[in-house]
Structure 1
Amino acid sequence: MHSPVSQVTGFGVLMIVQIILLALFWLFVRYSDEALPLLEGSELGEQHVSKYPHFQDVQVMIYIGFGFLMTFLRKYGYSATGYTLCMTALVVQWCILVKGYFHMENGKINLSLESIIDADIAAAVPLISMGALLGRTTPIQLLFMALIEVVLFAINEYIALNIFSICDVGGSITVHAFGAYFGLAVSLMLRPAKDKNEPGKHEGPNYLSDIFAMVGTLFLYVYWPSFNSVLADGNGQERAILNTYLSLAAATVTTFVVSAIVSHENKLDMVHVQNSTLAGGVAIGTVCNLLVGSHGAILIGIIAGCISVLGYRYLTPRITAVTGIHDTCGVNNLHGMPALLSALASAIFASFVTKEHYKSELGQIFPAMGDVPANNNSTIILGGFERTASAQAGYQLVGIAVTLLVAIVGGILTGGVLKYTGVRKLQKDEHHQDELFWEVPEPKED
């Protein structure tokens, strides 16, 4: 049974973590030049403030979109939205420190609007993983997982972007694939015995919870172009917006068609509408700023919608039956497989890249294919500069392969820690219900 003392102890440890973060920010974090008082006549900082609308959009996606998307469980709405808020607030602080470590100047981490945006995007990683485990873990387990996952994510992202120099402006490889397969690996370790792997009595939606989850879908849908384009530069940012929108639109139409074909009695399935409509945003992420063409964006969206719906209908039940892996939100179908599609598309399009097509943008989008570093953060260790198109395509595939390796191994190790240590675990009759950790109003009697 649930022990109030153990819960208080867990949240007490969380407060200690927050105090440690305070001390680390005090010691190592300083405002960047853009956030300091300007010299007379200086215009420094204006271009960074111009990203604030994108920052707001990403905030809406993370806090509202992800939070409400997970409210489909009929008795888990408090937890879905509440844990999203708490986890993101913790992860943003932690990620500023962890990612800042790789770019320290004189022993200090520069704090800017861009670093906050980076941290917000990184918060999507443990939230995606949370979707695989939703309702089957305690809040302390989730927060502990997030702290470990962010470290591994930051290391993998640095390897992918700064050493392999892959193109991944929308984060399909480093964010979506990593978060999905890390969460599934943790779920693998926490899976119950096969005879206890049936759905819990509270695992499922009702009419109202599905409506709330649809609100999350709509927020994610509307703001996904900002998520994919916020880190893009120049004309590539507009391409990222256009391509993302078209891919989402194509995935949405495809989702409705395929859902009606494969669902019971040929009726639309709300699970597909809530999730697979968004698969186009994931699938276009890695290539959203490339010259894929409007037809290419639509094609990617169509394929993403198909594989996502088919994954929910056929693949997820099969995986659960064979391996015991429980994927509450179906993150493999919304984030995992579409991200793999995006990685494959990035290798294909990278193999056709020429300087004639991309002109001065080549070094911005593919730093290792340029003549000189695109920015001061480019640390191209493998292959040097002026990399060929075929070599870049190979590195795109290496990037997704390493990401899967780090995510799966890291998730297995993290899941092992959660399983075999003294961290409190939920029993089957405690799954998918808010009452365990929240004060829930009693239903009024008529």
Structure 2
Amino acid sequence: MGNDRYDAVIVGAGPAGASAALLLAQNNSSVALIERGKKPGSKNMFGGSIYRKPTAKIIPGFWEKAPLERSIVTDELWLMDKNSAVKVGFTGLKFNEPPYNKFSAIRSKFDAWFANKAVEAGANLMTETLVDDLVYEKIGLLKKKVNGVKLDNGEIIYADVVLIAEGASANLTQKAGMRGRIEASSLTLYVKEELALPPEIIEARFNLEPGEGANLGMIGYPTSGVIGKGGLWTNKKSISLITGGYLNQINAKGISPYQLLSRFKKHPLIKRLIAGAESIAYKAHVIPKGGYENVPQLYDDGLLIAGDAAMMISGRRGSDIAMLTGLYAAETIAQARAAEDYSAKVLKGYEKRVMDSFFMKSIKKSKSAKKYYKDHPDADYLLTKAANDAAYRFFEVGVEPSEQKIKKIKKEILNMEPTKKLITDLYYGFKDWGIF
């Protein structure tokens, strides 16, 4: 497998690991990028979106060569009931012009391309390789420092620093004592189906021109009473359809991922959008949603934690935040290398970068949302039910004065939800939905 010692070993070739590997290799560090899948992205899943500004910090002008699907011009949030949807959204055609805003992408293509950029810069990519444990060296009477990783075949790869970017399961992070056992209530399970459709049909159904894309976020009906979301993304020649929610609630209700997705596809509005489509891929993926309280210890002597393993998720934003944690880790490791000091004292600079970031401020602000949804698991259901009932009443043509109709609508909403709870549900809903 080449050298048995590197400046840095990175566990996980997703966005966080690939970002760090690329930047370190460009800084003339020797890097081993270890991936347990057949190729980077082979086990990853998202709807999903690649955001231009954060990604351009890692690879300027990436959109000119990266395997992207469509530039997103339409974002919508659907509050769905069994045969209706209240829609909130925006279409900005300027977003289809350079430098763009965000893109739909398929992770199996994008992650492989991204990791290959690190390889081109000099990183050593090892696929189908499983890290079993960390290796330590004594640095004092009672202290020890991470000194590399042990593979499941017994081989040891030494390094001055190890960056764990292993994903939501974070078994290695737990083994290292950086966090305790993660509870099912801090994880969400999402399922995705990719459905092939000709480009011209996609464009006609979503009112798009060639190259333009749409993202639809959905709450209410898609999750069968579980707190979570549904979503639809348009790709070049396919549609990505996802749904899911908190793992503990899915378990408690005895819902299988396939059931959840199958029910979502049968909704009359979704059926119209995917009519005639051919299923070409099906995946399930666990995403950390523990929030600020569950962020693990991010550094130790010779060790850093990034991406999903570090609980770096804010609303629908995960891949771009992972890239930025990889960037911050690479910057910190470069400083440690210059100082020839990989102690926790120096690596603590990584935590400061993360804690001062815009996304950590968002994660902190959202920490109360998890508790609220735990106490009020009916919040999204009541909001979507109230919105759709009110919309049916409002748009129904009758023989009563408009003022009388609106009074009745208000009364029906208040009968379903007291004013205080309605306002609070909306507040936490917008916190949780993020940018849909």
Same fold (TM over 0.5): no
Tell me which protein shows more strand as a share of its residues. Answer: 2
Q: What band does the TM-score fall into relative to the shorter chain? A: under 0.3
Tell me which protein shows more helix as a share of its residues. Answer: 1
Higher RCO, Cα 8 Å, sep 6+: 1
